[in-house]
Amino acid sequence: MASITADQGTEMLRGGDFADCSIICSGYTFSVHKAIIVKKSKFFKTCVSGKFKESKLGSVELADEAPYAVAIMLVYIYCGMPQMTCGHARDTNRDVKDVWPSLGWLADEAEDYVEFTIQCTARVYKSADRLMIEDLHKHCQELLLSLGDPLGVAWSVPDESGNPDQRFHIHYSSS
Protein backbone atom coordinates (compact mmCIF):
# COMPACT_ATOMS: atom_id res chain seq x y z
CA MET A 1 0.00 0.00 0.00
CA ALA A 2 1.33 3.42 -0.95
CA SER A 3 1.95 6.03 1.71
CA ILE A 4 -0.70 8.65 2.26
CA THR A 5 -0.09 12.35 2.76
CA ALA A 6 -1.04 14.16 5.96
CA ASP A 7 -3.93 15.85 4.12
CA GLN A 8 -5.20 12.51 2.84
CA GLY A 9 -4.92 11.04 6.34
CA THR A 10 -6.87 13.94 7.81
CA GLU A 11 -9.58 13.52 5.18
CA MET A 12 -9.78 9.77 5.85
CA LEU A 13 -10.25 10.42 9.56
CA ARG A 14 -12.70 13.26 9.06
CA GLY A 15 -14.90 11.52 6.51
CA GLY A 16 -14.61 7.96 7.75
CA ASP A 17 -15.08 6.76 4.17
CA PHE A 18 -14.47 3.03 3.84
CA ALA A 19 -13.71 2.71 7.57
CA ASP A 20 -13.89 -0.92 8.61
CA CYS A 21 -13.27 -0.65 12.34
CA SER A 22 -14.33 1.49 15.29
CA ILE A 23 -12.34 2.50 18.33
CA ILE A 24 -14.65 3.22 21.25
CA CYS A 25 -13.27 5.32 24.08
CA SER A 26 -15.32 6.80 26.94
CA GLY A 27 -18.44 6.92 24.79
CA TYR A 28 -16.64 8.47 21.82
CA THR A 29 -16.39 6.44 18.60
CA PHE A 30 -13.52 6.86 16.15
CA SER A 31 -14.03 5.36 12.67
CA VAL A 32 -10.73 3.92 11.44
CA HIS A 33 -9.23 1.71 8.76
CA LYS A 34 -7.64 -1.57 9.80
CA ALA A 35 -5.04 -1.38 7.02
CA ILE A 36 -3.78 1.92 8.47
CA ILE A 37 -3.87 1.29 12.23
CA VAL A 38 -2.17 -2.12 12.11
CA LYS A 39 0.91 -0.59 10.45
CA LYS A 40 1.77 1.47 13.53
CA SER A 41 0.30 -0.47 16.45
CA LYS A 42 1.12 -4.03 17.42
CA PHE A 43 -1.86 -3.92 19.79
CA PHE A 44 -4.33 -3.07 17.04
CA LYS A 45 -2.71 -5.60 14.70
CA THR A 46 -3.26 -8.34 17.27
CA CYS A 47 -6.82 -7.22 18.06
CA VAL A 48 -8.19 -6.86 14.55
CA SER A 49 -6.34 -9.62 12.75
CA GLY A 50 -6.48 -12.38 15.34
CA LYS A 51 -9.18 -14.59 16.73
CA PHE A 52 -10.24 -12.03 19.30
CA LYS A 53 -13.77 -10.65 19.64
CA GLU A 54 -12.55 -7.27 18.34
CA SER A 55 -11.73 -8.87 15.01
CA LYS A 56 -15.20 -10.35 14.71
CA LEU A 57 -17.03 -7.25 15.97
CA GLY A 58 -14.97 -4.75 14.01
CA SER A 59 -14.53 -2.57 17.08
CA VAL A 60 -11.99 -2.09 19.84
CA GLU A 61 -13.00 -0.78 23.27
CA LEU A 62 -10.38 1.38 25.00
CA ALA A 63 -12.04 1.97 28.36
CA ASP A 64 -8.91 3.23 30.13
CA GLU A 65 -7.73 5.72 27.52
CA ALA A 66 -8.54 9.43 27.32
CA PRO A 67 -10.40 10.31 24.07
CA TYR A 68 -8.15 13.31 23.43
CA ALA A 69 -5.03 11.12 23.73
CA VAL A 70 -6.57 8.57 21.34
CA ALA A 71 -7.36 11.40 18.91
CA ILE A 72 -3.73 12.57 18.98
CA MET A 73 -2.54 8.99 18.44
CA LEU A 74 -4.84 8.63 15.44
CA VAL A 75 -3.61 11.92 13.99
CA TYR A 76 -0.10 10.50 14.37
CA ILE A 77 -1.01 7.15 12.78
CA TYR A 78 -2.74 8.76 9.81
CA CYS A 79 -0.81 12.02 9.38
CA GLY A 80 2.61 11.70 10.99
CA MET A 81 4.23 12.87 14.20
CA PRO A 82 2.12 15.44 16.07
CA GLN A 83 3.83 18.60 17.22
CA MET A 84 3.34 18.06 20.93
CA THR A 85 5.42 20.87 22.33
CA CYS A 86 4.34 23.85 24.37
CA GLY A 87 4.89 26.12 21.38
CA HIS A 88 2.78 23.90 19.13
CA ALA A 89 -0.05 22.93 21.50
CA ARG A 90 -2.51 25.12 19.63
CA ASP A 91 -1.46 23.52 16.32
CA THR A 92 -2.00 20.02 17.71
CA ASN A 93 -5.37 21.09 19.08
CA ARG A 94 -6.27 22.54 15.67
CA ASP A 95 -5.42 19.17 14.08
CA VAL A 96 -7.69 17.36 16.54
CA LYS A 97 -10.49 19.95 16.16
CA ASP A 98 -10.24 19.74 12.38
CA VAL A 99 -11.21 16.06 12.48
CA TRP A 100 -13.25 15.82 15.70
CA PRO A 101 -14.71 19.26 16.56
CA SER A 102 -16.31 17.96 19.75
CA LEU A 103 -12.87 17.11 21.21
CA GLY A 104 -11.13 20.38 20.37
CA TRP A 105 -12.58 22.37 23.25
CA LEU A 106 -10.21 20.70 25.73
CA ALA A 107 -7.18 22.75 24.76
CA ASP A 108 -9.23 25.84 23.90
CA GLU A 109 -10.34 26.06 27.53
CA ALA A 110 -6.91 25.29 28.98
CA GLU A 111 -5.67 28.21 31.06
CA ASP A 112 -2.06 27.02 30.95
CA TYR A 113 -0.86 25.53 27.67
CA VAL A 114 2.38 24.31 29.25
CA GLU A 115 0.50 22.31 31.86
CA PHE A 116 -2.03 21.12 29.26
CA THR A 117 0.81 19.97 26.97
CA ILE A 118 2.51 18.08 29.79
CA GLN A 119 -0.69 16.36 30.89
CA CYS A 120 -1.70 15.54 27.33
CA THR A 121 1.76 14.26 26.41
CA ALA A 122 1.79 12.11 29.56
CA ARG A 123 -1.55 10.58 28.56
CA VAL A 124 -0.38 9.95 24.99
CA TYR A 125 2.86 8.47 26.37
CA LYS A 126 0.90 6.05 28.56
CA SER A 127 -1.56 5.16 25.79
CA ALA A 128 1.16 4.71 23.17
CA ASP A 129 2.89 2.31 25.55
CA ARG A 130 -0.28 0.29 26.16
CA LEU A 131 -1.21 0.23 22.47
CA MET A 132 2.34 -0.60 21.41
CA ILE A 133 2.96 2.40 19.16
CA GLU A 134 6.69 2.41 19.74
CA ASP A 135 7.89 5.50 17.86
CA LEU A 136 5.15 7.73 19.32
CA HIS A 137 5.91 6.35 22.80
CA LYS A 138 9.60 7.17 22.31
CA HIS A 139 8.75 10.65 20.98
CA CYS A 140 6.60 11.41 24.04
CA GLN A 141 9.27 10.06 26.39
CA GLU A 142 11.89 12.34 24.84
CA LEU A 143 9.55 15.31 24.96
CA LEU A 144 8.64 14.74 28.60
CA LEU A 145 12.28 14.36 29.60
CA SER A 146 13.18 17.57 27.76
CA LEU A 147 10.32 19.49 29.41
CA GLY A 148 10.92 18.19 32.92
CA ASP A 149 14.02 20.05 34.01
CA PRO A 150 13.27 23.65 32.97
CA LEU A 151 9.73 23.45 34.31
CA GLY A 152 10.72 22.12 37.73
CA VAL A 153 9.04 18.82 36.98
CA ALA A 154 10.48 15.46 37.94
CA TRP A 155 9.66 12.44 35.81
CA SER A 156 9.82 8.77 36.51
CA VAL A 157 9.90 7.28 33.04
CA PRO A 158 10.64 3.60 32.36
CA ASP A 159 14.01 3.06 30.77
CA GLU A 160 14.78 1.13 27.59
CA SER A 161 14.59 -2.19 29.46
CA GLY A 162 10.80 -1.81 29.53
CA ASN A 163 10.56 -2.90 33.16
CA PRO A 164 6.79 -3.34 33.72
CA ASP A 165 7.19 -2.62 37.43
CA GLN A 166 8.16 0.97 36.75
CA ARG A 167 5.37 3.52 36.74
CA PHE A 168 5.03 6.93 35.18
CA HIS A 169 4.80 9.71 37.74
CA ILE A 170 4.69 13.49 37.46
CA HIS A 171 5.86 15.62 40.36
CA TYR A 172 5.42 19.38 40.11
CA SER A 173 7.67 21.55 42.23
CA SER A 174 6.16 24.65 43.78
CA SER A 175 9.11 26.87 42.93
- Assign 166 a pLDDT band (cuts: 50, 70, 90): very low
- Cα–Cα distance for residue pair 175/161, rounded to 1 Å: 32
- Assign 24 a pLDDT band (cuts: 50, 70, 90): very high
Quick one: average pLDDT of 60-83? 84
Q: Which of 136, 144, 135 is nearest to 168 (CA)?
A: 144
Domains along the chain with CATH numbers: 6-172 (3.30.710.10)
The predicted model scores a pTM of 0.74
Q: Is 90 exposed, middle or buried (0-12, 13-18, 19+ CB in 10 A)?
A: middle
Predicted confidence at residue 105, as pLDDT, reads 54
Quick one: average pLDDT of 132-138? 91
More confident residue, 92 or 61: 61
- Assign 99 a pLDDT band (cuts: 50, 70, 90): confident
**In the predicted structure, residue 137 carries a pLDDT above the cut 80:** yes
Predicted confidence at residue 159, as pLDDT, reads 44
**In the predicted structure, residue 15 carries a pLDDT above the cut 50:** yes
Residue 23 contacts residue 29 (beta carbons within 8 Å): yes
Predicted confidence at residue 119, as pLDDT, reads 79
Predicted confidence at residue 33, as pLDDT, reads 92
